[in-house]
Homo-oligomer: A and B are copies of this chain.
């Protein structure tokens, strides 16, 4: 199973990332990844997942998935549908979509069987450590208070990043550690990587930017 690239862009449910605007953003990410050589993965809006996976030349992840097995589950996204869509993995437990601990465990276990990547979010160091015990592909620590704030976690709360890296790697060094919340510049990315993170998870800083390409190029410049 491949690794999560250093930049992961969560489209959330913004009007700026819906439909054609979302497809255009996928294309921009792909072009920047190609030009800079820095890996970028996208998490399109749930209803756009299969279309994005069909068109994108970069990794595509779902934003959320339920622990249910495929079946009579009207309106829910299950791992089998993510796999069949051509996506390569999924975000889990974003603070805007928190998950039950038993569901996180079940999704991580079943995603492994299906060869899907799991990037699980954690709101603090304790939760990072708790999720590490479940063995996801990667953990993104994001203090909810900084999400969408424009204040980068790598500067506002560097301790939460380095502590999470330590807590996770102590339990399982194979798990990649990311950080997120307030990241919007190459300098934020650089600071995050210096704290031991292997990448960043971001959203509004790119999606709501007047020139997403410019922001993405700047972000990529923070990756050595």
Contacts and interface: CB of A to CB of B under 8 A. Distances in A.
A51 to B, nearest CB: 4
Q: DSSP majority for the A interface?
A: mixed
A9 to B, nearest CB: 12
A187 B161 CA distance: 49
Interface string A112-137: 00000000000110110111111100
Interface in A87-119: 87, 91, 93-105, 109
A95 B50 CA distance: 26
A5 interface: no
Interface string A66-77: 001011111111
B127 A102 contact: yes
Nearest to A167: B133
A13 B101 contact: no
A132 B133 CA distance: 9
23 contacts: A12-B71, A15-B70, A15-B84, A18-B70, A19-B84, A19-B85, A21-B84, A46-B46, A46-B81, A47-B49, A47-B87, A48-B85, A50-B51, A72-B147, A72-B148, A73-B97, A74-B94, A75-B91, A98-B101, A98-B102, A101-B101, A101-B127, A130-B130
Given A12-B74, A13-B76, A18-B84, 13 more contacts: A12-B73, A14-B72, A18-B70, A18-B80, A22-B84, A47-B62, A47-B85, A48-B49, A48-B50, A74-B96, A101-B104, A126-B135, A133-B133
